[in-house]
Structure 1
Amino acid sequence: MKKAVTIAWVLLALCALLATTDARSGRGRGGGRRRALADRSWRSSRPRNYIHDIVLPWSQWKPWWSHRWARDRAGWWTGPNVCETKEGDPQALPDGEGFMLKIKECGSGEDGSYRCTYRADDFQQKYTATVTYRCCAGYARQQGKPGCPLKVAELKNLLDTARGLGLSEFVSYAGKAKLEGALTGMNNFTVFAPTDGAFQSIPTRVITDFDSPSKRATQRGDTPALTLDQLKDTLLSHVVSGWLTANNIRDEEILRTLGPGEIRTTAYSNKKIVNANCVKVVLSDQLASNGVIHVVDGILPNTKKSVLEIISQDSRFTTLKTALGQTDLPSVLDSDGQMTVFAPTDSAFDNVPQETLNRLLADRRCLKNLLLHHVIPHTICADAVTGKHRAVSMVGEDLKVERDSDDKIFVNTAQVIQGNVLGYNGVVHVIDNVLVPSKAQNIVDVLAASGASRLVELIEIAGLTDTLRSQDNITIFAPSDQAIEELPEETVKALTSNPGALAEVLQYHVVPQAAFAKDLKNGAMLPTLGSSNKLHISVKDWFFHTMVNVQCARVVKADQGGCNGVVHVINKVLAPPT
């Protein structure tokens, strides 16, 4: 009994441990973006290292067993000129006489600090202590060096630092927007400052007199200009509170700015390529006395629209909008999160044969798979494509994404004709061709593409084409063209002259359920279409190779998926029992 109680306590502790970890990682349904927006001052959504200790009744504070997810390692906070701030004392946490769960979580904050939180829970009372490490007053961090070796006296404020970096346009516009005080004050900010060339995309005149003739002309659209409020909002949408160095920039992070916009950071190739709203960071970690500057090569785009709104409000996507409306995908494209959509234009759909397009639009199963093949469940900015890459679409099939020698980006055979149309939940790249996966094809069409075109001819003769097209979630063990050619000529003639007998043979190759390779188990008996006959499956493992047989035929090509089933190509024609 005592042993059972102890085991129960252990299981309870593990459940509490997992719940605590999940809660602190922000991994709940719909929690990604909302969690990121909820707390920008401290980012603990993915602690860098943490230790979970479970202390059993007889082990006191030094557990005989410790589950260590990651070990403490020396970091910058162990170097010189680092000051500690304690809330409670970790050494004063109780040892506990009985069962106790102890958790240590550490992670970096946006203000450049490093914080460790210690928690103890004996399931009667909870104890917490926190230690925060920051650079001592008058010192700052230096990339790649421990501690805080830089004296702040050696650093200039953000505005002077920007001026020293040659960002004269940014400095000029900041003056027009009356932001000098914020950029030279005591508060710490992270600034994504555009290069001088980037400012060519916005009007050079700023209207400050709201009742002036030029202001009224601007409202009528007669002259390009910015109002003071528009300029201020634009610049503040490049500024984030606190310190955010390159080491702290995370992939798919949403940052709340001081303006109306948000910044989505993306990092690729081990942070060799970092983007803010899909605009490339060309120079990072330019430290100032009151913050840090990352130089970007463009004005950060507005991210108020969702991916769905971007597509819906663009006249180039009429066919795409019609197709989306026949599925449940609009809610996916309008949800929080991150995604990349390769959006075919109306001209791209015009390249699809009309018969094929009509068949796709008429079959919602195939249509949904077609559309999902244009979506990747994470953000890929154009700058991230530096050569040949492979991505997996939301339908589970590969996409080849590459940048050629002419600096053009292709996705399979489609060219990206406009990239980086950014929304708050992802990015849209406009393409000139439709991407058709095998899972967007009816299973009858998959047969021909899988090397079983002779079987398609026999299916037509037997009058089974419409039957198989209308089936849902079926499996066809398809004899290859070679397998059918190896049949005696008299057998083929006898079958083709008797469609009923031919249909019986062909239905023996069809299983009225989807059975992928992973589902084929040794000794399994699978039902067949239109009869009580069953197919026997045998599976043999030969070192690094697995051989699958159905009856006496070997599977030579597996998992050729269609929108209504799967095809396995076999090397023999199956004969139903008589």
Structure 2
Amino acid sequence: YLIHTNLFQLGSFKPSVSSVSLATVRPNVCALQQVMGTKKKYFSTCRNWYQGAICGKKATVLYECCPGYMKLEGMKGCPAVAPIDNVYGTLGLVKAISTQEYSHISKLREEIEGSGSYTFFAPSNDAWNLLDGEVRSALESNVNIELYNALHYHMANKRLQTKDLKNGLVVDSMYNELELYINHYSNGIVTVNCARIIHGNQVATNGVVHIIDRVITAVGNTIQDVIEVDDDLTTLNDVALASGLLDKLGQPGQYTLFAPTNDAFAKLDSDVMQRLMGDKGVLQALLNFHMLNSVQCSEGIMSGQTFETLEGHNIEIGCDGESLTVNGIKMVLKKDIVTTNGVIHLIDEVLMPDSAKQVMELLTPSQSTFSDMVSELGLSAAMEAKAEYTLLAPLNSVFTDEVMAIDQSFLKVILENHILKEKITLGQLYNGQRLETIAGKFLRVFIYRTAVCIENSCLVRGSKEGSNGALHLMKTLMKPAETTMFQILTDNGRFKIFLSLMETAGLTDLLKQEGEYTLFAPSDEAFAGISNSDLALLRGNMNALRTILLYHFSNGVFIGGGLETGVTNLLKSLQGNNLRVLHVSPNLSTFNKAVNIGNHGIFQCTLYEKPEQSYYQTDPEEIVQCFYSESRASPPDPLSITNIRNPLSSTM
């Protein structure tokens, strides 16, 4: 017969074109993709194109007759309905010649030619050739029992099309009702005992035939059974036993275990292995990080996909040609060891979750300078093995030549401010919290709508939690507040007029007392356009003076990184009206270094008038723009205010 295996290759095919649109020209034609350089083929539908590549290998799009149809000479597509036959005859129609021959010599032929309703998961010719030679010889030497039973294990005593093969379905086979394990993946791939259905739904008069890509064997062991008897998994067995999770591996479920071999564990330093074995909680995290709560057969993976482990964090499972990858690395030694409660893949590396690492092990290359400096200055050696810490690690870019030129003793003091003497996770931080460093200093936490900041530095994405500590990534070096706003303004020398007015208004204590404020402090230059007579007038009106000065204070600490960029931030002034703050800094890290923080809060920022608005004209919600220009070699120090504010609703 001329059947669906006739192929048409289109050199100009575009992946956006579906088999549906092609069918309007060539009826009953289905699309498939073949991995170049291999015999692997994948049927494609409108919902699961593989974008021209499968497991990183280029795929060629081909067309063939859809199941049940055939070509006719001189006509386009597959316009004829193929003849239907019983299961045995259908094996021949779909070119499963080896399975058909084995069915004949094992006396299975009479059964699948007769009455009944069967599903036959028939190995392809290539599948039989892939079978271990000794196993195949053993089957062929005992055709009436071993071969017959093996074929029966590939069969179910009812018709099941691929739409009936739901993910997680367990089907009784016709060999002693030993179970077949079905997985139906979102990409359309269907597997039985991890063997992929490569040609499905070949309808027969007494059932249906699905061609699979390997010979399957009966499954009777659990994951626990496998690791207890496999000589390559003795260390893993010890880990599972010590963690208290060994029995779980023998319970019903749908698991995937990436099982490190003995050699994989041998790659770990002996002190690391000793530490792991001495902590049951860490061992549980380690083992759970190697497990998924779903069955992921290798043939179900077409490209990189992220899966949540039982430990709670994600790993990426992908493929590179015939190799299965974990987190982009080829580490799978043996794939698809099918068990009654899942599947095992042997790997040659131990996957180490953050929860099993000590705090210094959480650092990555982007914080390598901080890691090196902490080690060189003796801070890491001083950390107690059983104590908990939190690292506030600046990124490598923070350690400029200027920073690295700082005296080592002073740099050590700075870095001590970046190590907390307790474990504080991201979710435990709250506004107003005080964090104690290993040097005994206290750091303040500020929580904003889109940022979490500690003193003058904000966190960036990448916080981690280890077995004895936590890691947070910081935009800049932190500088704890050590003096008051009053002292900073006085020492600077450019705020004499402002300080004088604060004294006249009786508000100087606001710059000295305990509290949390943000001050937009006008420098002496900000008063340059105001005549002495106007200043005298202002000093003579105490209510107006206090109102204007209090309009420069906001209740609460708002550092640059806590202000959202590109939107208007409304800050409530102590005067009562809102300040509208527009943060347009292109470089928050540089901006933060330019802002002084007292033990009350930030007090300097560039303040601009609204267009066409004088000092005497008022708007209770004037715009404040804080920015640092990229065109400057270094930020101005300090940033200052170009004009003072009058929030009154009438002219003074």
Please state which band the TM-score falls in when normalised by the shorter chain: 0.5 to 0.7
Amino acid aligned to 1:160? G
Give the fraction of aligned pairs with identical amino acids, expressed as a percent: 23
CA distance in 2, matches of 1:465, 1:301: 54
Which amino acid is 2:204 matched to?
Answer: A
What is the match of residue 464 of structure 2? 560
In the TM superposition, what are the counterparts of 1:306-321 in structure 2 within 5 Å? 306-321=222-237
* 2:182 is equivalent to residue 265 of structure 1: yes
1:401 to 302, 310, 317: 317
Partners of 1:463 and 1:163 in 2: CA distance: 72
Secondary structure at 1:293 match in 2: strand
Which SS does the other structure have where 1:234 is aligned? helix
* Paired AA for residue 195 in structure 1: S
The equivalent of 1:326 in structure 2 is 242
| Pairwise CA distance, 1:154 | 5.9
- Aligned equivalents of 2:313 and 2:339: distance in 1? 25
Task: Calculate the TM-score normalised by the size of structure 2.
Answer: 0.53
In structure 1, distance between residues paired with 2:344 and 2:105? 33
Distance 1:153 1:303 in 2: 36
Q: Provide the rounded CA distance (Å) in 2 between the counterparts of 1:191 and 1:526.
A: 68
Tell me if structure 1 keeps the 8 A contact 2:414–2:479.
no
Sort the Cα spacing of 1:531 and 1:490 in 2 relative to 1 into closer, same or farther, 3 A: closer
Partner of 1:368: 284
* Letter aligned with residue 156 of structure 1: D
Counterpart of 1:329 in 2: which secondary structure? coil
User: Shift of residue 232 of structure 1?
Assistant: 3.5
- Where 2:167 maps in the other structure, the secondary structure is coil
Offset of residue 482 of structure 1: 6.4
Taking the aligned partners of 1:167 and 1:495, their CA distance within structure 2 comes to 74
Note the alpha carbon deviations across 1:152-199, whole angstroms, 9 max, x for none. 996322222223333343334334544445423433221111223434
Distance in 2 of aligned mates of 1:178 and 1:462: 73
Relative to structure 1, the CA distance from residue 299 to residue 482 in structure 2 (aligned partners, 3 Å threshold; closer, same or farther) is: closer
* TM-score for the superposition, normalised by structure 1: 0.59
Deviation of the 1:484 alpha carbon = 7.6
Is 1:515 the counterpart of 2:425? The answer is: yes
CA deviations on 1:418-457 (whole Å, 9 max, x unpaired) are 2111111111112222223333311132246561315633
Residue 491 of structure 1: how far off its partner (Å): 7.9
CA offset at residue 520 of structure 1? 3.7
Structure-2 separation of matches of 1:280 and 1:465: 53
Over residues 442-491 of structure 1, what are the superposed CA-to-partner deviations in whole Å (9 max), with x where a residue is unaligned?
1132246561315633884486412xx4246x644345566687779888
The answer to whether residue 170 in structure 2 is matched with residue 254 in structure 1 is: yes
In structure 1, the partner of 2:39 is none
1:444 aligns with 2:373: no
Structure number, greater radius of gyration: 2
SS at match of 1:419: strand
Structure 1 residues 362 and 384: CA distance shift in structure 2, 3 A = same
* Matching of residues 451-466 of structure 1 within 5 Å: 451=367, 452-454=370-372, 456-457=374-375, 460-461=378-379, 464-466=382-384
> Are the counterparts in 2 of residues 455 and 479 from structure 1 also a CA contact under 8 Å?
no
| Residue 190 of structure 1, aligned match among 119, 123, 137 | 119
Match of 1:351 in 2: 267
Q: What is the SS of the residue equivalent to 1:242?
A: coil
Structure 2: which 5+ residue stretches go unaligned?
1-66, 70-80, 484-652
Query: Within 2, Cα distance between the matches of 1:563 and 1:414?
Result: 27
The SS at the match of 1:573 is coil
- Contact 1:547–1:554 (8 Å) recurs in 2: yes
Secondary structure at 1:433 match in 2: coil
Please name the residue that 1:427 is paired with. Answer: 343
In structure 2, give the amino acid aligned to 1:349.
F
> How much does 1:371 deviate?
2.7
**1:22-41 matched pairs, under 5 angstroms:** none
Q: What CA distance in whole angstroms lies between the structure 1 residues aligned with 2:439 and 2:404? A: 25
| 1:351 CA displacement | 2.8
**Against the structure 1 CA distance between its residues 205 and 172, is the aligned structure 2 distance closer, same or farther, given a 3 Å change threshold?**
farther
Aligned counterpart in structure 1 of residue 477 of structure 2, from 526, 550, 572: 572
- Does residue 173 in structure 1 map to residue 102 in structure 2? yes
Counterparts of residues 534-553 of structure 1 (less than 5 Å): 536-541=444-449, 546-553=450-457
Q: CA deviation at 1:248?
A: 1.9
Change (3 A) 1:449 1:526: farther
Q: How does 1:14-93 map to 2 (within 5 A)?
A: none
1:163 maps to: 92
1:548: how far off?
Answer: 1.0
Q: Structure 1 residues 333 and 535 mapped into 2: Cα distance closer, same or farther (>3 Å)?
A: farther
RMSD between aligned residues: 3.7
* DSSP 3-state at the match of 2:180: strand
Q: Deviations over 1:287-324 (max 9, x none)?
A: 11221111112211222111222222111122222222
The structure in which a higher percent of residues are strand is: 1
Question: Aligned partners of 1:461 and 1:205: how far apart in 2?
Answer: 65
> Secondary structure, in 3 states, of the residue corresponding to 2:272?
helix
For residues 275 and 481 of structure 2, the distance between their equivalents in structure 1, rounded to whole angstroms, comes to: 33
Instruction: Give 3-state SS (helix, strand or coil) of 1:236's partner.
Output: helix
Question: Is the contact made by 1:549 and 1:555 (CA closer than 8 Å) also made in structure 2?
Answer: yes
- Name the CA distance, whole Å, in 2 between partners of 1:254 and 1:461: 57
Residue-by-residue CA offset, 1:304-355 (whole Å, 9 max, x unaligned): 1112222221111222222222212213322222122222222222333334
Q: Which residue in 2 is equivalent to 1:411?
A: 326
Residue 282 of structure 1 is matched in structure 2 by 198
**Matching residue within 525, 528, 531 for 2:433:** 525
1:446–1:562 CA contact under 8 A, matched in 2: yes
Worse overlay, 230-239 or 278-287:
230-239
Distance 1:379 1:171, change over 3 A: same
2:581 match: none
Residues 85-133 of structure 1 show CA distances to partners (whole Å, capped at 9, x for unaligned) of xxxxxxxxxxxxxxxxxxxxxxxxxxxxxxxxxxxxxxxxxxxxxxxxx
CA offsets 1:354-395 (integer angstroms, 9 cap, x no match): 343333333444433333332222222222333444333333
Match of 2:392 in 1: 477
Which position in structure 1 is the counterpart of 2:622? none
Counterpart Cα distance in 1 of 2:184 and 2:459:
42
Matching residue of 2:299: 383
- Tell me what 1:93 maps to: none
Residue 568 of structure 1, CA deviation: 0.8
Provide the C-alpha distance between the structure 2 equivalents of 1:367 and 1:419, rounded to a whole number of angstroms: 24
Distance in 1 between the 2:404 and 2:149 partners? 79
Return the alpha-carbon distance in structure 2 between the equivalents of residues 463 and 158 of structure 1.
72
Greater RCO (Cα-Cα under 8 Å, separation 6 or more): 1
Mapped to 2, the partners of 1:359 and 1:331 lie a distance apart of: 23
Count of aligned pairs:
396
Cα gap change, 1:442 to 1:478, in 2 (>3 Å): same
Quick one: which amino acid aligns to residue 453 of structure 1?
Answer: S
Task: Give CA-to-partner distance per residue, 1:514-571, whole Å, 9 cap, x none.
Answer: 423x4544x2525647899875432223xxxx21112333113442232333211222
